[in-house]
Amino acid sequence: MGNSGLTGQPATLSDEEIAALKASTNLSEEEIRDMFNEFNKGGGAGDGKITKEEFHKYYKKTVGSDDADGIFADNTFAAFDTNHDGSISFSEFTFAILAQNKTDLDSILSFSFASIDISGDGNISFDELKGYLEKAAILAIGKEEAAEIDSDEVALINFIALTADLPMPIQFYRTSFVNPATAAYCTWWTFFEYSLNLISELLMAVISIQRHIFVFQPRLFDHRLKRYIIYYLPLLFCVVYPFIFYLIIIVFYPCDGTQWVFSSNLCGYANCYLVYNKVLTSFAWAMNNGLPSVTIFLANAMLVIRVVQQKRRRQRLISWKKQRHMTMQLLGISSLYMIAWIPCLIAGVGQRIVSPNFLLQIQFDYFLDLIYIVCLYLPWACYGFLPECHKWFYKVFRVEQVTRNVIRPTVRD
């Protein structure tokens, strides 16, 4: 850029740079200059680059009280620094701001991926995903409350589902056939997927209940014994019970293995207990899928009602902004589970009450695939309910529309 080599002097834009940006971004010259002024405020004046330290200061100043500690500064810097050289050029600054304001799915996913992939190696590690979710929890509910919540279980289950389980249905839909087409593979696949789905559902149900305690009776966790009984033991049950239950009714259930359908996803869901044992099938649907879904809905509905009731009592010393963020995030994440499971549960109940073929084809073609949206959209649900990040981008992108006066001839009567 013009004076980029003169330390301490404001950098300027050349006519060639403006022309190149106009051609590649469809921005007007006035909009480019407005954005360049914002870039200089962030630390670009002088050498034409914003270092990480300068970006941290600019981020905190721009965000204000929404993220005063700069929790997401590193993630945002990683998304801006596309060539990963440790600094942000004006071109990177411009394209990052424009990418954040695009509404097409590819741009949204690319920018979100870059903000999580801090290392810039093109892969999201478990530590990066876990760290991102922990930061989301801190911003949503506060540092003290987030410190009480061990997010390892939810993050780990979601990470395993994305990396180990989801490739199997993707492989099936690519070839339209189960490969390898063996009873052992189908047994392992269904055991693994059913267990992960149930763990995820139970964790969400338990966390929805525990949130009432975090909001309204946090002192219960001050006592170590009560904390283990109320908090840790239920979470441990959510992880251990599904593996034991499905180990017994899938792996150890006596069956010849000829019932599998290799031309359907998840081997046609033709587990022996589902095909031959109506009692176990009803129990699994009611207790393992129906009860957690109902619990998630009722617990979160009651949470909203209780928060609204408490909000009317102004004399109570409660941080309503913090509780509102926590409630909205939990409702948003819980809605994923409701969308994923309610259609399947309705079809399952209808097949037991109305007819065995009630919505059967629609269930296999559409409803059962909805379950995958939990692991696919959970990270984005966390991001979507962080208005702090959105506000910061809107503050940065303060490109005003240029008002043009149009002169028209007047006609006199």
- What does the CA dihedral 12, 18, 20, 24 come to, rounded to 10 degrees? 120
Residue 311 has what pLDDT? 66
Q: Which CATH number fits domain 15-123: 2.60.40.1180, 3.30.1360.200, 2.60.120.260, 1.10.238.10?
A: 1.10.238.10
Residue 263 has what pLDDT? 93
Residue 80 has what pLDDT? 80
Residue 141 has what pLDDT? 46
Residue 220 has what pLDDT? 80
Which residues of the chain have a pLDDT value below 70?
Answer: 1-13, 42-47, 60-72, 97-109, 111, 126, 130-155, 311-330, 379-413
Residue 105 has what pLDDT? 55
- Tens digits of residue pLDDT in 192-232: 999 999 998 999 899 888 888 877 787 787 788 888 898 88
**Phi, psi angle pair for 354, to nearest 5°:** -90, -65
Domain 128-386 in the same topology as domain 15-123? no
Report the b/e string of 101-112 with b at 16+ CB within 10 A: eeeeeeeeeebb
Domain segments of the chain as ranges? 15-123, 128-386
Residue 32 has what pLDDT? 78
The CATH classification number of 128-386 equals 1.20.1070.10
Residue 343 has what pLDDT? 92
pTM of the entire predicted model = 0.60
Provide, for the chain, the percentages of residues in helix, strand and coil under a 3-state DSSP scheme, each rounded to the nearest 5. Answer: 70, 0, 25
**C-alpha span between 35 and 130 (Å, rounded):** 33
**Phi, psi angle pair for 141, to nearest 5°:** -125, -5
**C-alpha span between 98 and 338 (Å, rounded):** 34
- In the chain, the amino acid numbered 176 is S
C-beta separation of 341 from 201 below 8 A: yes
